[in-house]
Amino acid sequence: MAAPNNNDAASASASTSEGAPAAPEDTSIEALARRVQEHMTLANNPSARRHKFWETQPVGQFRDAADVSLPDGAIEPPTPLSEVRADPYPLPAAFEWFTCDLDDDALLADLYALLAHNYVEDDENMFRFNYSPAFLRWALRPPSFFRAWHIGVRATESKKLVAFISGVPARIRARDDVVRMAEINFLCVHKKLRSKRLAPVLIREVTRRVHQENIWQAAYTAGVVLPTPITTCRYWHRSLNPKKLIDVGFSRLGPRMTMSRTVRLYKLPDAPLTPGFRQMELRDVAPVTRLLRAYLARYVVAPDFDELDVEHWLLPQEDVVDSYLVESPETHEITDFCSFYTLPSSVLNNPNYSTLKAAYSYYNVAVKTPLQQLMNDALIVAKQKNYDVFNALDVMENEAFLKELKFGPGDGQLHYYLYNYRIRNGIKPSELGLVLL
Amino acid sequence: MGGDWQELAQAAVIGLLFAFFAAKLISVVVAFKDDNLRITRSPPAVPSPSPADPPPPPASLDGGVGSGSDSDGDWEGVESTELDEDFSAASAFVAASAASGTSVPEEAQLRLYGLYKIATEGPCTAPQPSALKLKARAKWNAWNKLGAMPTEEAMEEYITIVDDLFPNWADGSSAKRKDGDSTMSASGSKGPMGPVFSSLMYEEDQGNESELGDIHVSAREGAIDDVKKHLAAGVEVNIRDSEERTPLHWAVDRGHLSAVEVLVNSNADVNAQDNEGQTALHYAVLCEREDIAELLVKHHADLQIKDGDGNTPQDLCSSTAWSFMNPAN
């Protein structure tokens, strides 16, 4: 995400306390102490490297971490729209911007292929995310989405799609402040073009187009530490098909552990246990929205969902998103809700398997049913639907059921970020009520 | 007297003022120096960096070295470049091999040293060491003679030399940098933005006190020659481990059909039960090992033995396609 035209202005306002060393006023002992502290922080935390790009951006800066005088909220005020850069940022020769129309099946197939071959892999390059075309349509076209935020880069000659980034609009509440934001996702550069440094210009361009809609904040995640996460979550994994997970290298079998005992350990009942547990339907949108809004109000940062959002994000779609609820058999009141989305991964270089089918915990609200029981039912339906693994972040109340339901900790950490919005001291994962896809 | 005091007081004031300005000056210099430090890597104490201390991104990423402020430089910095990652990996490899005593020709060592200094600190500004300090002088010369070589050029040559010296260096390094497919600088495994692929962290089987004999281990690994050796040496074919599992249980559990054949042909008890009452056939069914289950049934494995939970192999068999599990056939 980049400031519209003047990065210096952005960096100046984001770093006023740092000051210029040449200004005698600022060369105080405190400034010096801060610098020393900053360098100590950097020395002690190799991941907290210097980020030239992000230091020019209105994001929480590492050096400001200890500064209690900075207020929560927007880091810099909106620029007048007339000052937002009108033209796209320049691309290297031989590439051109291309706004993707996801109604077009052929284009959707191109985007699917770009991501399926070039998007996120694990550290050992054994798996690569394989978001389905239907999932991409769902993820990129929520209520009031902007087509201009589906940004492709094509090779001018071949018209081949070689890079992509996207934003979707969302209302996200931070403490008492409901902010219109862009959720930035699906940044992908073709493997052969990694040295072209397309990622920064994609980020700048999506920022520009977000600004053009008079939106000045954004939410995004990353596996790396950038300035500065609002919180850092861990993935947990619940084996549903342990033999396959071991065969593909997703998990390992200890030398003194048997496969047969592992299989028995993760066995689940054939059908959900909670009476009244059923799939969500269109008629449930209103009660689910009420349930969800009341629940998400507990969290420091959470989406501000209305019924349109709930209909889009939570109404079940085969192999995209699944939602279940508990309808009281007596009163027919909707008392509890759980959901997960479907994100398969390609299994790279395995003779027996090509796909890993993973369910990702999405939004869950347990009011009458104990959360652990509700999530156990979610595991059961995921198993019924042939998912291999059920993943969950340690956000919201999830910690309360992870260990009990035999989730194991994952090797992946997910950092959550807000652009141009400061939340001093960050928050705990359990204070986060937002799940980005 | 009065004049003396006045003079003294004056001197003291001037002294204080001087000290104040000196302190100011020093802090300004420190602040400036600090700024300069930012555009370089932290200087290493030894010619090669310690692998535990990965160098921060190169100068060109961090400060206005060279390129203009908005055009080129702004393309960088969101991600560390592939070159930077390769260089980090290569220098870590060199440090590790130096630590393990791998010998590198003196000439190449000095060249690498010079390039490393350029890549991490820029042009040599250190004072020339005394001619008596041979080693220090040689290193200084190696650095100094590269002049104002650009950082990226230094990194590239460094990697080239390491490639020449150790053609397979990248294979052994934890970072598989040389494989084009795995250079993940832009949006691969740890891209600048986006989701993260996580898999289960391996946890040692804590609290698992199982103790296996050698033949159990050989059966588990499917090492049939070793299994045969143990049997030939007089090891009992149905010998139990601490959980009362036989070698057959282990061979079935890990899916080694040939080891299962060796064991059943050596008269292993196909109906031996472990401490939870499960037979090798229970294992085969639970682990969905059809060929092995079929072999066991052929060798008269009992379909009706109940385990500790009261389940027979038949009860546990979820696949209806396994006709051999149905005694009617």
- List, as one string, the DSSP characters of B30-92: HHHHHHHHHTSPPPPSSSS--TTSPPPPPHHHHS-SSS-TTTTGGGSSSS--HHHHHHHHHHH
Domain boundaries, chain B: 82-173, 209-316
Q: Rounded to the nearest 5 degrees, what angle is found at the Cα of B316, between the Cα atoms of B300 and B255?
A: 65
* Six token digits for residue A415: 């950092």
Please report residues of B whose CB lies closer than 8 A to that of A257: 205, 208, 210
**CATH fold match for the domains B82-173 and B209-316:** no
The reply to whether residue A260 touches residue B287, judged by beta carbons under 8 angstroms, is yes
In percent, the amount of chain A with pLDDT more than 90 equals 78
Q: Could you give the angle at which helices B151-165 and B106-121 cross, rounded to 10 degrees?
A: 150
Q: How high is the pLDDT of residue B40?
A: 36
Query: In which residue are the tokens 């010096």 written?
Result: A32
A409 has a pLDDT exceeding 50: yes
Q: Does A119 touch chain B (CB under 8 A)?
A: yes
Name the pTM for this structure. Answer: 0.72
Strand partners, A99: A151
Q: How high is the pLDDT of residue B186?
A: 37
In tens, the pLDDT along A365-400 reads 999 999 999 999 999 999 999 999 999 999 999 999
In chain A, whose CA is at the least distance from the CA of B24? A27
* Six token digits for residue A226: 């950038």
Q: What mean pLDDT do residues A220-242 have?
A: 94
The reply to whether residue B198 touches residue A391, judged by beta carbons under 8 angstroms, is yes
| C-alpha–C-alpha distance, residues B195 and A187, integer Å | 10
Please say whether the dihedral angle defined by the alpha carbons of residues B182, B188, B189 and B192, taken in this order, is positive or negative.
positive
Q: How high is the pLDDT of residue B184?
A: 33
Amino acid at A95: F
Amino acid at A305: F
Choice between A346 and A62, residue whose per-residue pLDDT is larger: A346
Q: How high is the pLDDT of residue B182?
A: 30
Nearest one of A120, A164, A187 to B188, comparing CA atoms: A120
Residue A161 sits at φ, ψ, to 5 deg, of -75, 120
| C-alpha–C-alpha distance, residues B313 and B278, integer Å | 8
Q: How high is the pLDDT of residue B153?
A: 84
C-alpha dihedral, A296 to A298 to A299 to A302, nearest 10°: 20
Please report residues of B whose CB lies closer than 8 A to that of A93: none
Q: Does A203 touch chain B (CB under 8 A)?
A: yes
Binding-face residues of B in 62-101 toward A, CB within 8 A: 62-63, 69-70, 73-83
pLDDT-derived band at A222 (thresholds 50, 70, 90) equals very high
The reply to whether residue A220 touches residue B193, judged by beta carbons under 8 angstroms, is yes
Count Cβ atoms within 10 A of the Cβ of residue A263 and give its class: 0-12 exposed, 13-18 middle, 19 or more buried. buried
Q: Does A127 touch chain B (CB under 8 A)?
A: yes
The reply to whether residue B253 touches residue A260, judged by beta carbons under 8 angstroms, is yes
| C-alpha–C-alpha distance, residues A247 and A286, integer Å | 43
Q: How high is the pLDDT of residue B52?
A: 40
Query: In which residue are the tokens 């933005």 written?
Result: B193
Mean pLDDT of chain A: 89
Query: In which residue are the tokens 């907290």 written?
Result: A48
In percent, the amount of chain A with pLDDT more than 70 equals 88
| C-alpha–C-alpha distance, residues A421 and A428, integer Å | 17
The reply to whether residue B180 touches residue A191, judged by beta carbons under 8 angstroms, is yes
Looking at domain B82-173, its CATH class is mainly alpha
Contact B144, B118 (CB under 8 A): no
Q: Could you give the angle at which helices B151-165 and B82-99 cross, rounded to 10 degrees?
A: 50
pLDDT-derived band at A11 (thresholds 50, 70, 90) equals very low
Q: Give the CB-side neighbour count of residue A38, counting CA atoms within 13 A.
A: 20
- pLDDT values of chain B reduced to their tens digit, one per residue, 329 residues: 445 666 666 666 666 666 666 665 555 444 444 443 333 334 333 444 344 443 333 333 333 333 333 333 333 333 346 677 777 778 877 877 776 767 788 888 889 999 988 887 778 888 888 888 888 888 899 999 998 888 788 888 888 888 888 877 776 544 433 333 333 333 334 567 899 999 999 877 666 778 999 999 999 999 999 999 999 999 999 999 999 999 999 999 999 999 999 999 999 999 999 999 999 999 999 999 999 999 999 999 999 999 999 999 999 987 778 888 886 65
Please report residues of B whose CB lies closer than 8 A to that of A200: 74-79
Query: In which residue are the tokens 């156990």 written?
Result: A376
pLDDT-derived band at A32 (thresholds 50, 70, 90) equals low
Q: What is the DSSP string of A181-221?
A: EEEEEEEEE-GGGGGG-HHHHHHHHHHHHHHHTT--EEEEE
Domain B209-316, what fold?
Answer: 1.25.40
Amino acid at B85: E
DSSP A336: E
* Six token digits for residue A115: 């991501």
Q: Are strands A177-189 and A217-222 parallel, antiparallel or unpaired?
A: parallel
Contact A391, A235 (CB under 8 A): yes
Q: How high is the pLDDT of residue A67?
A: 79
Q: Are strands A334-342 and A301-303 parallel, antiparallel or unpaired?
A: unpaired
| C-alpha–C-alpha distance, residues A51 and A226, integer Å | 7
- Highest-scoring range by mean pLDDT, A59-73, A157-171, B79-93: A157-171
Choice between A194 and A146, residue whose per-residue pLDDT is larger: A146
Q: Could you give the angle at which helices A307-314 and A285-296 cross, rounded to 10 degrees?
A: 100
In chain A, what are the domains?
A: 7-228 (3.40.630.30), 233-431 (3.40.630.170)
Q: How high is the pLDDT of residue B278?
A: 97
Q: How high is the pLDDT of residue B14?
A: 65
Interface A–B counts its CB contacts (< 8 A) at: 236
Q: Does B42 touch chain A (CB under 8 A)?
A: yes
Nearest one of A119, A129, A229 to A166, comparing CA atoms: A119
Q: Which long-range contacts (CB under 8 A, 24 or more apart) does A101-106 make?
A: A101/A147, A101/A150, A102/A136, A102/A137, A102/A140, A102/A141, A102/A150
* Six token digits for residue A98: 């291309």
A345 has a pLDDT exceeding 80: yes
Q: How high is the pLDDT of residue B69?
A: 33
B197, B214, B245, best to mutate vs chain A, most A CBs in 10 Å? B197
Q: Is B226 helix (H, G, I), strand (E, B) or coil?
A: helix
Q: Dump strand ranges (E) for A280-407.
A: 301-303, 321-327, 334-342, 345-347, 355-356, 358-361, 365-366, 389-393
Please report residues of B whose CB lies closer than 8 A to that of A224: 190-192
Query: In which residue are the tokens 């072999």 written?
Result: B295
Active-site residues of A: which are they? 437
Q: Is B171 helix (H, G, I), strand (E, B) or coil?
A: helix
The reply to whether residue A186 touches residue B194, judged by beta carbons under 8 angstroms, is yes
* Six token digits for residue A33: 């102490």
Please say whether the dihedral angle defined by the alpha carbons of residues B296, B302, B304 and B308, taken in this order, is positive or negative.
negative
Residue A356 sits at φ, ψ, to 5 deg, of -110, 125
Q: Give the CB-side neighbour count of residue A344, counting CA atoms within 13 A.
A: 19
